């Protein structure tokens, strides 16, 4: 039986990654260690001293870790959908080469989403293992929290790819990271409850995909009740993935076909 075409795209990306994985694997392990040690243990000790009851009833490290897990997936997803996509369309023309085979635009987009999801999953699983090593939660519980992180990562891949595919020049990408990705990282509940934000900012934070992922992952790790019913958050994140992927097909067809 012939291999489905999206899996051919996945295979091509995996073959390239087989030669380049050493450049990312160190940071995949080092980043969660540094974040959890510096902010969870270092800064967290000061927070716990001044808040005897902790944040939402738990230590700051325990509160922070699932938020950083989702933030890591969010940033990985944004990275997979931005410069790499721009390079494949504009500079390296690798998408053009793939389309010279029987692979079509829908298969190219689906394969891109599959591979990007695999990258998000790799980073998230490593973070969960490190999180367990810091004794935030048992390993199985930490790995369960990867599920919401993967949904957030895929939502960011889809949305960012749809945005990047519409850019003629790369100048919009630094602005995207400065005014979308960075604020989402800081103000979507990873570092503190969004109830601490000014009233006008709270609905904006609640609308971000990262907030829903943080709430779900924190509910799994800490046992807190998410602010929004879990299935609503799952459907919301799934909608981001579906809509973002659908919005990618048109620009890809316009940019990549004669």
Residue-level pLDDT at 1: 43
> In degrees, to the nearest 5, what angle opens at C-alpha 176 toward C-alphas 256 and 163?
30
Q: Which helix (H) or strand (E) holds 232?
A: helix 230-256
Residue-level pLDDT at 115: 97
Name the residue ranges covered by the structural domains of the chain. Answer: 5-256
C-alpha dihedral sign at 39, 45, 46, 48: positive
Residue-level pLDDT at 19: 85
Contacts of 244 (CB under 8 A, 6+ apart): 155, 157, 158, 159, 161, 162
Question: Taking residues 3-22, what's their average pLDDT?
Answer: 87
Band of pLDDT at residue 254, cut at 50, 70 and 90: very high
pTM of the model: 0.95
pLDDT in tens, 75-115: 999 999 999 999 999 999 999 999 999 999 999 999 999 99
* DSSP one-letter code for 199: T
Residue-level pLDDT at 49: 87
pLDDT in tens, 33-72: 999 999 999 988 889 888 887 788 889 999 999 999 999 9
CA gap 57, 51 in Å, rounded: 10
Residue 171 has pLDDT above 70, yes or no: yes
CB 64 within 8 A of CB 41: no
Band of pLDDT at residue 3, cut at 50, 70 and 90: low
Beta pairing partners, 55: 58
Question: Taking residues 195-204, what's their average pLDDT?
Answer: 94
CA gap 127, 125 in Å, rounded: 5
Compute the mean pLDDT over every residue in the chain, rounded to the nearest whole number. Answer: 93
User: Exposure pattern of 195-208 as b/e (b: 16+ CB <10 Å)?
Assistant: eebeeeebeebbeb
> In degrees, to the nearest 5, what angle opens at C-alpha 112 toward C-alphas 208 and 88?
105
């Amino acid at each position: 039986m012939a291999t489905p075409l999206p899996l051919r795209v996945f295979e091509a990306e995996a073959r390239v990654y087989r030669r380049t994985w050493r450049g990312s694997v160190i940071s995949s392990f080092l980043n969660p260690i540094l974040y959890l040690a510096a902010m969870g243990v270092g800064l967290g000790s000061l927070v716990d001293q001044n808040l005897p009851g902790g944040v939402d009833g738990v230590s700051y490290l325990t509160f922070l870790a699932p938020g950083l897990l989702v933030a890591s997936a969010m940033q990985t997803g944004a990275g997979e959908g931005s410069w790499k996509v721009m390079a494949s369309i504009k500079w390296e023309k690798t998408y053009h080469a793939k389309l010279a085979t029987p692979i079509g635009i829908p298969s190219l987009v689906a394969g891109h989403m599959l591979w990007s999801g695999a990258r998000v999953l790799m980073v998230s699983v490593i973070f969960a293992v490190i999180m367990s090593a810091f004794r935030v939660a048992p390993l199985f519980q930490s790995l369960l929290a990867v599920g919401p992180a993967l949904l957030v990562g895929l939502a960011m891949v889809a949305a960012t790819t749809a945005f990047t595919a519409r850019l003629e020049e790369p100048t919009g990408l630094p602005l995207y990271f400065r005014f979308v990705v960075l604020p989402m990282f800081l103000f979507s509940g990873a570092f503190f409850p969004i109830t601490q934000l000014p009233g006008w900012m709270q609905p904006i934070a609640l609308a971000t995909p990262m907030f829903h992922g943080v709430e779900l992952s924190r509910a799994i790790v800490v046992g807190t009740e998410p602010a929004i019913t879990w299935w609503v958050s799952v459907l919301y994140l799934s909608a981001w993935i579906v809509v973002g992927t659908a919005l990618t097909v048109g620009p890809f067809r316009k940019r990549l076909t004669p």
